């Protein structure tokens, strides 16, 4: 345990609307549950923002010395088009792509894992699926029926929100009023089996044409979307655990329903801290597939999109995401990515200067211990990555000054800077040390060839400059000359 720093971690709790000191339920062990993707689609960059934010949270809490069990589910059944109503998203995609539902699940799970790996995120310790936990969900429903907060109608089971709300408050997270909660328009047209439009499905009867169904005490059917997370988080983290997270758009109805289900089962609000990440926007609007306003990560990495002027590496995209606090909206734009690329290069250049800095001085002109403590304070303040970045750049400025001989550094402090950079950049923020990896080396080599070619052009040695351009093209590297600068693209 990092004794100096771990006591100071404060986390904004959506349940209380305040930053609270983080004291784990079980001293050294921390349980985190994050709602994962519904695997019927390629994950877009908005989805990635949420999972990258929780990756940092997971990494930082682990760094402080806690033993973390990180659970992130995969929704592979029960998420209907209008959450509680309509066609199952997986079944619909299976129909459109003419595949088995489980082929859809496999295809998009693989895609999700590949993208998460490209972003260098740490996989969860457990990644449970809804279809793998039907028995647990049936058990949860039986308990809710026993507690009197669920009823059966025509082979489906619904949560009785109105009855529950008379005893426990429903909507604690979103703060919505019960009269404003109407789950879907179909509830209003008199065709629904629900007693009240606010009620939500725990179990849905499978109609004859439904392909994904299981036997249950109430007949053939499938679980409601909100149930899987209550059942699976309780199974792997206990009835009341430390942190439950997801995107802001999951507060209602998903998380309010999860809390209600848990309280109906055992009177516990499921998790001590509820954390919500804000949205990534594009052109000022939420990045979302449903309104055709999205970019896929691979489109950004390969430059194959109509929106951006060039490709950007996963590192740059991650660095861009750290420019906003996870609870603030972040807008994706070409300029913001270009600025992030520049910022990241400056940071990495600073980091790479450290080993060669002159440290033959008695004293340093920079209070390193105070700087380290500030870095931790920023992260302890509800994982404030933009403020952490500002601290790190303060030190980059100092490094550059030492490099040109205008500031002094001693040996001990040089070691501390090196170690702290490694901890924050690679261990906590999960950036990839590209200069250390082969891909980093090859990009350095390409830059070197561009430099030699530019020199050849200045010397009017067009034969050599053309040869470099053509040979690089044969290797799938396309040069682009603009004014006095050349950039490259992998094709
Ligand atoms: P889904 O697969 O739609 O259930 O979404 C998976 C996760 O991505 C959820 O936690 C969503 O809240 C989150 N999410 C969806 N769109 C965005 C966005 N534009 N920005 C940030 N997170 C998002
Ligand atoms: Zn969930």
Q: Is the pLDDT of residue 2 over 60?
A: no
Least confidently predicted of 94-103, 148-157, 317-326, 439-448: 439-448
Domain co-membership, 221 together with 97: yes
One domain, residues 222 and 345? no
Per-residue pLDDT tens digits for 444-453: 788 889 989 9
In tens, the pLDDT along 111-163 reads 999 999 999 999 999 999 999 999 999 999 999 999 999 999 999 999 999 99
Helices (DSSP H) in 119-157: which residue ranges?
134-146
pLDDT > 70: percent of the chain: 94
Residue 375 lies in a domain: yes
In a domain, 4, yes or no: no
What average pLDDT does the chain have?
92
What residue's CA is closest to ligand 1, atom 8? 47
Q: Which of 56-65, 107-116, 274-283, 437-446 has the lowest mean pLDDT?
A: 437-446
Q: Which atom of ligand 1 is nearest to the CA of 50?
A: 22
Residue 436's pLDDT is: 58
The pLDDT of 259-283, averaged and rounded, is 97
In a domain, 174, yes or no: yes
Last residue of a domain, one of 260, 277, 294: 277
At 79 the pLDDT is: 87
Q: Tell how far the Cα of 47 is from the centroid of ligand 1, in angstroms.
A: 4
H or E, element range at 468: helix 462-474
Of 249, 274, 325, the residue with max ligand 1 atoms within 8 A of its CB, to mutate for a pocket test, comes to 249
- The pLDDT, as a whole number, for residue 204 is 95
- Residues in CB range of 76: below 8 A, 6 or more apart: 38, 39, 90, 101, 102, 105, 109, 129, 130, 131
The better pLDDT of the pair 303, 262 is held by 262
Looking at all shown ligands, the one closest to residue 281's CA atom is 1
Q: What is the mean pLDDT of residues 365-377?
A: 97
Q: Tell me: do 383 and 470 sit in the same domain.
A: no
> Could you tell me if 152 and 49 lie in one domain?
yes
Please give the residue range of the domain that contains residue 415: 282-428
- Structural domain total, the chain: 3
* pLDDT grade for 473, boundaries at 50, 70 and 90: confident
The verdict on 164 and 239 lying in the same domain is: yes
Summarize the chain as % helix, strand, coil (round to 5): 45, 20, 35
Phi, psi (rounded to 5 degrees) for 141: -60, -45
Going by alpha carbons, the residue nearest to atom 1 of ligand 1 is 37
pLDDT, tens digit, for every residue of 6-23? 569 999 999 999 999 999
Shared-domain flag, residues 31 and 123: yes
416 domain-assigned: yes
Are 246 and 193 found together in one domain?
Answer: yes
Q: At which of 255, 277, 299 does a domain end?
A: 277
Same domain? For 269 and 417 the reply is no
What residues flank ligand 1, with Cβ below 6 Å?
A: 35, 37-38, 46-47, 49-50, 246-247, 249-250, 277, 279-280, 286-288
Give a yes or no: residue 2 inside a domain.
no
Highest mean pLDDT among 70-79, 286-295, 416-425: 416-425
User: What confidence score (pLDDT) does residue 440 get?
Assistant: 54
- pLDDT tens-digit map of 164-202: 999 999 999 999 988 877 654 444 455 688 999 999 999
Ligand with the closest atom to the CA of 244: 2
Full DSSP string of 58-105: HHHHHHTT-EEEEEE-BB-S--BTTBSSSSBHHHHHHHHHTS-HHHHH
Domain identity same for 187 and 322: no
Say if CB 357 and CB 414 are below 8 A apart: yes
Domain identity same for 269 and 363: no
Whether 176 and 195 map to the same domain: the answer is: yes
Distance CA 133, CA 273 (A): 24
The per-residue pLDDT for range 273-304, each reduced to its tens digit, is 999 999 999 989 999 988 889 999 999 998 88
Question: For the ranges 179-193, 436-450, 475-489, which has the lowest average pLDDT?
Answer: 179-193
Specify if 1 maps to a domain: no
| Whole-number CA gyration radius for the chain | 26
**Do strands 221-223 and 241-247 pair parallel, antiparallel, or not at all (unpaired)?**
unpaired
Assess if residue 158 is contained within a domain.
yes
The encoded tokens of residue 153 equal 């109608």
Q: Which protein residue's CA is at the shortest distance from atom 12 of ligand 1?
A: 247
Q: What is the pLDDT of residue 191?
A: 65
CATH number assigned to the domain comprising residue 395: 1.10.730.10
pTM of the model: 0.88
Q: pLDDT of 209-239, one tens digit each?
A: 888 999 999 999 999 999 999 999 999 999 9
Could you say which of 246, 277, 308 is where a domain stops? 277
Residue 399 lies in a domain: yes
Same domain, 121 and 197: yes
């Amino acid at each position: 345990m990092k004794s100096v720093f771990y006591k100071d971690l404060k986390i904004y709790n959506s349940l209380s609307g305040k930053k609270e000191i983080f004291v784990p339920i079980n001293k050294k062990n921390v349980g985190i549950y994050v709602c994962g993707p519904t695997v019927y689609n390629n994950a877009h960059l908005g989805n990635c923002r949420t999972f990258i934010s929780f990756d940092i949270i997971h990494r930082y809490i682990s760094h402080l010395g806690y033993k973390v069990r990180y659970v992130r589910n995969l929704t592979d059944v029960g998420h209907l088009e209008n959450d509680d109503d309509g066609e199952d998203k997986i079944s619909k995609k299976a129909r459109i792509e003419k595949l088995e539902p489980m082929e859809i699940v496999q295809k998009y799970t693989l895609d999700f894992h590949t993208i998460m790996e490209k972003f260098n995120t740490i996989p969860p310790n457990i990644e449970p699926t809804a279809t793998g936990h039907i028995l647990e969900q049936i058990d949860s429903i039986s308990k809710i029926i026993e507690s009197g907060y669920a009823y059966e109608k025509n082979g489906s089971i619904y949560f009785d929100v109105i009855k529950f709300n008379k005893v426990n408050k429903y909507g604690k997270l979103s703060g919505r009023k019960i009269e404003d909660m109407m789950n879907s328009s179909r509830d209003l047209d008199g065709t629904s089996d629900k007693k009240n439009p606010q009620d939500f499905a725990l179990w849905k009867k499978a109609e004859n044409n439904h392909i994904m169904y299981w036997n249950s005490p109430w007949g053939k059917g499938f679980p409601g979307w909100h149930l899987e997370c209550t059942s699976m988080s309780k199974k792997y983290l206990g009835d009341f655990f430390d942190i439950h997270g997801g995107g802001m758009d999951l507060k209602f109805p998903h998380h309010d329903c999860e809390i209600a289900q848990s309280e109906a089962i055992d009177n516990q609000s499921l998790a001590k801290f509820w954390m919500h990440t804000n949205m990534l926007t594009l052109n000022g609007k939420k990045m979302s597939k449903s309104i055709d306003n999205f970019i896929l990560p691979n489109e950004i990495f390969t430059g194959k999109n109509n929106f951006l002027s060039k490709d950007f590496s996963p590192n740059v995209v991650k660095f861009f995401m750290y420019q906003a606090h996870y609870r603030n909206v972040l807008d994706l734009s070409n300029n913001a990515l270009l600025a992030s690329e520049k910022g990241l290069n400056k940071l990495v250049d600073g980091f790479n200067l450290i080993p060669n800095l002159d440290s033959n001085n008695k004293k340093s002109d920079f209070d390193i211990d105070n700087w380290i403590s500030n870095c931790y304070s920023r992260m302890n303040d509800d994982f404030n990555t933009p403020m952490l970045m500002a601290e790190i750049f303060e030190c980059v400025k100092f490094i550059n000054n030492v490099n040109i001989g205008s500031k002094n550094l001693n040996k001990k402090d040089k070691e501390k800077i090196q170690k702290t950079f490694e901890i924050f950049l690679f261990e906590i923020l999960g950036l990839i040390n590209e200069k250390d990896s082969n891909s980093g080396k090859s990009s350095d080599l390409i830059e070197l060839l561009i430099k030699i070619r530019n020199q050849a052009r200045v010397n009017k040695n067009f034969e050599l400059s053309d040869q470099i351009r053509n040979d690089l093209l044969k290797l799938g590297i396309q040069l682009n000359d603009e004014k006095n600068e050349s950039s490259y693209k992998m094709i």
